Amino acid sequence: MDMVKLKIDGQLIQAPKGTTILEAALSNGIHIPSLCYLKDISDGGVCRICVCEAEGSKKFLPACTTSISEGMCVYTDTPAVRESRRLNLELIMANHNGDCTECERGGDCELQMLCKEYGVNRKRFGAYSETHQVDQSDAYIVRNNDRCVQCRRCVSVCKNAENVGAIGVFGRGSGTRIGIDVPLRETNCIHCGMCVACCPVGALTVKDDTFSVWKAIADKRRKVAAVVAPGVEVEIGECFGEPAGSNCAGKLVSMLRLIGFDRVYCAGAAAARTVSEELSALETAKKAGELPLIGCTCPAALEYINQYYPELSKNISRGKSTQMNACGMCREELCGDEVFVVSLTTCLAEKTAVRKNPYADAVLTVPEIAAMIKRAGVSTYTAAQVWDGLDETEYDHFKNEASVWAISKTGGIGPLLDESGGLYVTGLKTADAYLKQIKEGALKPSYLEILACPGGCLNGGGQSHQTGSAHSLTDLAESRSKGLKNCFELRNTEEM
Amino acid sequence: MKGLNMLLQPDEACIHRAIQLARDDPKGALDVLKASGLRGRSGSSFPTGIKWEMTAQCSSAEKYVVCNADEGEPGTFKDRALLELAAENVVCGIVVCGILTEAVKGYIYLREEYSSLKAGIETAIQKLSPDFPIEVYAGCGSYVCGEETALLESLEGRRGEPQNKPPYPSSAGLFGKPTVISNVETFANVPFILSNGAEAFRMNGTPKHTGTKLVSLSGCVENPGVYEFPLGTTIGEIFETAGGCPEGKKLKGMQIGGGSGAVAGLDALSAAFDDEGCAKAGASTGTGSILFFDETCDVLDLCLNISEFFEKESCGKCAPCRLGNQRIHAILEDMYNNGGTPDDLEKLESLGRFMTKSAACGLGQAAAMPLLSALRSFKDDFLKHLRRSSLIEE
Amino acid sequence: MTNLCEFSEFLSGCGKEDLVKALKEAQSLWGYIPPDAERMIGEKLEIPIAYVASVKSFYSYLYSDLPASCIIRVCRAVSCHVSESKKTLSEFEKALNLKAGETTADGKFRLEVCGCLGACDKAPAIMVNDKLFGPVRPEDVVKILENLQRR
């Protein structure tokens, strides 16, 4: 690989040719702030927060789009650069309603963080008059353009990673706005939720389902059970300052019990059931010559297939996903009681799935779970300390559960089938290319499992929020899956 | 016809000679073009021969030539004159470029406002380009499409938003293929150069800036219109050639290079109209237009008008241009109507600097140029409004 | 609608890169871009509806509603501004009894403010549909409107 030598802030750095200034800096521990950059997904160059000075250039260079060159001298933190960033942020704030105290992302917002860092005077360019551009048309996702910073991450991820393109940019000049002209309900949105996961602020949020859960918990006649998707174990800690990939199952279970859940199960316990169901369905499909059998783990991917490849709809497995099976086992277990089953996932599309097939009474995403934990009589300021001090406890067990809890690296069930002709794909952009080939008959897998989010459920639409430089097609899922894999092995040896 | 007259009157013999030469000896023709010293007339002043050669050297079976006729820069109308009076010169330039670069197709991106010229251009194409297909593509009304990457986006059916460079169009342009994109006037210079030779072309202009330049003159001048001058002619001479100041008026200043050009006082009259001369006067030749204004003109009001234009016409993609123009407009409007606040000048300066340094494309970087230069050369016009405000103590 | 069939035929020869062309074609058939045509473009060209609408909203000469039979565009760019186009504009507003951006009740006239028309030597310039006029002083406005009424 061709290497390029350059200096960033006086530090001599070597990086492969074609690397951007931002990536080269990041991999050498130099932090350059940004709002629009989304690793591997966005073209960047929009927010201009990441501008740097470079010797020999009169203009500032955007670190996220400028490739490094031999002998380059870049300065990422000069007074002039700081001034440009501060002014930029002040202008953004002059077009932002600043309702941080009621915003779902307050305290977990990239803009808020930057404003603090750069000492931004919110009112210097006059008070913002709200436009009330709020899109409530969709049943699950809300867009509030009074908070939007027009970084276009949502636009990029929807188009470039998911191949959907439900979010457009409208108008031009100071009247430019994102996604409001065509209400989300009228678009081809498949509810993968990646836009929500990638939004640096609170412009895109999930409609809050925690209230029904609180209500059920308060109702003493009801038994409230949590069914935790394995991905949640490795993401929940991120909301309390733990690095990505830390497995926090023990603390999560303790916390859920403290909140008032009567039972806490791991969905991984249902994997064996799903595997055997899918294998027999595959057997039938093979006999009938109706291949590929398409796995039903991901509701967003199924929606995509129904929309764009309706001729493949008949191939979708009629079985249940692991999460569904776990919820079903939970109902069997507690039969006789008045049960309220809460599915805890890293997925936003699960919310759409339960509406069609009410196997759970509520679905919560990771940010919602974190919000519940923070609200559970724990003040936000001390949530982290409480979290740190928690003891770890064990999951409840189903009576008839298999001795092995299984989880695949991506969150799907496919790889566990051990099927030689199986095809397992994550990210709809990638998947679309395969679907085309399957449609044309050029590719004939026996089993097909598509997970809509790039990297799979561990980079799902209901994940904990991460900054743009952390997001990528695979990196984030990869580091989270490390936590997952360890716990899987650990549990295996314990129970064998 | 005004001033010199090389570009605005097509000479049929000259046009055919040029095309023939390009056919017979493409490499030689490219050398003549390079020797002529012709530079792009869009404002970038990039040597045309070198630019075309870069695309010529790309080994791709599919290359394009695009003529930028999206003349949206306020105060500029020389491309309209060219396409109205001398479409054949322009088409000849495109045909030659097509031959030299071995392109498969040419496009003329014509702004919607000029759609009435389409028929005339198509006649010229039929006449001069039987083999090389050239499509006249009518825009839909967007200032930013004058920026080359935005224009290509628009040609591909998308929003006309400038793209990150590199890659440059010369290697990856229209549909990702090597593309020459040049200004109407640049193409119009080609027939003269090829048929009369580089030396004849260099007779006009300065050693560094060769040839003649079309200048659009408007505002406080006796005979507004399009003129042709050797590059390096002083702005004062240009002004006098156009009849000077109309009777009863007194010249106050001028805006040089289009709506995003610098606003300058009378001392700029002595500046030579080429890159170096204009740079000395704190300006640039831009699209080659000069707007003169008289004593009754309030420069703050002028800047207010310009900022309103840019606030609307920014493509809205990058934050400095979208938000900067919006705030500059708001502040100027407040100063104009209510006298503003004491720190307005400082805010305007820093907004202007911010846009110049941090905006994504050339248009966004230039949008604050009128304001920044006006704050230097006509500060009193701003202070006058500030003094009206009770917040300022005399 | 016979136009829709005609339009559908036009679209069958189009690819994704012809989106703007398709929008213009729709406009030439209907005088504006009706929602049905917009949807059809999206389906035939396989472009998400949000993107069709997004591109449409970018260009100022593409309309979502039926414009007037006579669109009067008054240039407010800087050259016309120093020639007092503001006064010409307000004269039009007065004579038509509306504000820029609006259409008269009878649907005949629509008044618009526009960027540079490239007719700065004729400042203040206006464009009526695709025809240029200039210089248009405030005192000329009533006469121009009378002529247009007659057509």
Whether the full predicted model's pTM is greater than 0.90, yes or no, is yes
pLDDT attached to residue A474: 67
**A133 in contact with C, Cβ within 8 Å:** no
Report pLDDT digits (tens) over A224-237.
999 999 899 999 99
More confident residue, A416 or A73: A73
pLDDT attached to residue A404: 67
Distance from the Cα of A367 to chain B's closest Cα (Å) equals 29
Q: How confident is the model at residue A476 (pLDDT cuts 50, 70, 90)?
A: confident
ipTM: 0.95
Residues of chain B with pLDDT > 70, as a percent, come to 98
Model confidence at B216: pLDDT above 50: yes
Strand order in the sheet with B262-264: B225-230, B212-219, B289-294, B251-256, B262-264
Q: Which of B68, B138, B64 is nearest to B97 (CA)?
A: B64
Burial of A199 (0-12, 13-18, 19+ CB in 10 A): buried
- Mean pLDDT computed over B56-63: 96
pLDDT attached to residue B222: 96
Model confidence at A402: pLDDT above 80: no
pLDDT attached to residue A489: 37
Model confidence at B193: pLDDT above 70: yes
Report pLDDT digits (tens) over A419-436.
888 899 999 999 999 999
pLDDT 10s digit of each residue in chain C, 151 long?
568 889 999 999 999 999 999 999 999 999 999 999 999 999 999 999 999 999 999 999 999 988 888 999 999 999 999 999 999 999 999 999 999 999 999 999 999 999 999 999 999 999 999 899 999 999 999 999 999 988 7
pLDDT attached to residue C4: 86
H/E/C letters for each residue in chain C?
Answer: CHHHHHHHHHHHCCCHHHHHHHHHHHHHHHCCCCHHHHHHHHHHHCCCHHHHHHHHHHCCCCCCCCCCCEEEEEECCHHHHHCCHHHHHHHHHHHHCCCCCCECCCCCEEEEEECCCCCHHHCCCEEECCEEECCCCHHHHHHHHHHHHHC
More confident residue, B4 or C54: C54
A63 and A51 Cβ atoms separated by less than 8 Å: yes
Binary contact (C82, B111; C-beta < 8 A): no
B75 and B66 Cβ atoms separated by less than 8 Å: no
CA distance C83 to B218: 9
pLDDT attached to residue A495: 34
Q: How far is CA B289 from the centre of its chain?
A: 8
* Other Cβ atoms closer than 10 A to A287: 8
Model confidence at B3: pLDDT above 80: no
Report pLDDT digits (tens) over B283-321.
999 999 999 999 999 999 999 999 999 999 999 999 999
Model confidence at A384: pLDDT above 70: no
pLDDT attached to residue B1: 37
Binary contact (C120, B140; C-beta < 8 A): no
For the record, the structure tokens of B196 come out as 């009369």
Model confidence at B117: pLDDT above 60: yes
B100 and B52 Cβ atoms separated by less than 8 Å: yes
CA distance A355 to A365: 15
Binary contact (A186, C49; C-beta < 8 A): yes
Instruction: Determine which helix (DSSP H) or strand (DSSP E) holds B251, and give its type and residue range.
Output: strand B251-256
Report pLDDT digits (tens) over A284-325.
999 998 889 999 999 999 999 999 999 999 999 998 999 999
CA distance A270 to A319: 13
Burial of A429 (0-12, 13-18, 19+ CB in 10 A): middle
Strand order in the sheet with A293-294: A293-294, A447-451, A422-426
CA distance B324 to A65: 21
Model confidence at B391: pLDDT above 70: no
Model confidence at A262: pLDDT above 60: yes
Please compute, for residue B251, the number of CA atoms within 13 A of its CA located in the half-sphere on the CB side: 24
Residues of chain A with pLDDT > 70, as a percent, come to 94
Q: Which of A365, A373, A342, A349 is nearest to A256 (CA)?
A: A373
Binary contact (C48, A168; C-beta < 8 A): yes
pLDDT attached to residue B277: 95
Model confidence at A362: pLDDT above 60: yes
* Average of per-residue pLDDT values in chain A: 90
pLDDT attached to residue C1: 56
Q: How confident is the model at residue A485 (pLDDT cuts 50, 70, 90)?
A: low
Q: Which residues of B touch C118 (CB under 8 A)?
A: 71-72, 76-77, 79-80, 111, 113-114
Those chains having 3 or more beta-carbon pairs within 8 angstroms of chain A are B, C
Which of A162, A164, A170, A429 would you mutate first to test chain C, the one with the most C CBs within 10 A?
Answer: A170
Q: How confident is the model at residue A1 (pLDDT cuts 50, 70, 90)?
A: confident
pLDDT attached to residue A488: 43
Distance from the Cα of B42 to chain A's closest Cα (Å) equals 20
pLDDT attached to residue B4: 65
Binary contact (B220, C121; C-beta < 8 A): no
Model confidence at A74: pLDDT above 60: yes
**C129 in contact with B, Cβ within 8 Å:** no
Q: What are the b/e assignments for B204-240, b being 16+ CB within 10 Å? A: bbbeebbbbbbbbbbbbbeebbbbbbbbbbbbbebbe
Report pLDDT digits (tens) over A15-41.
999 999 999 999 999 999 999 999 888
Q: Which residues of A touch B319 (CB under 8 A)?
A: 46-49, 88, 91-92, 150
**B289 in contact with C, Cβ within 8 Å:** yes
pLDDT attached to residue A65: 94
Model confidence at A491: pLDDT above 50: no
Q: Which of A447, A163, A164 is nearest to A315 (CA)?
A: A447
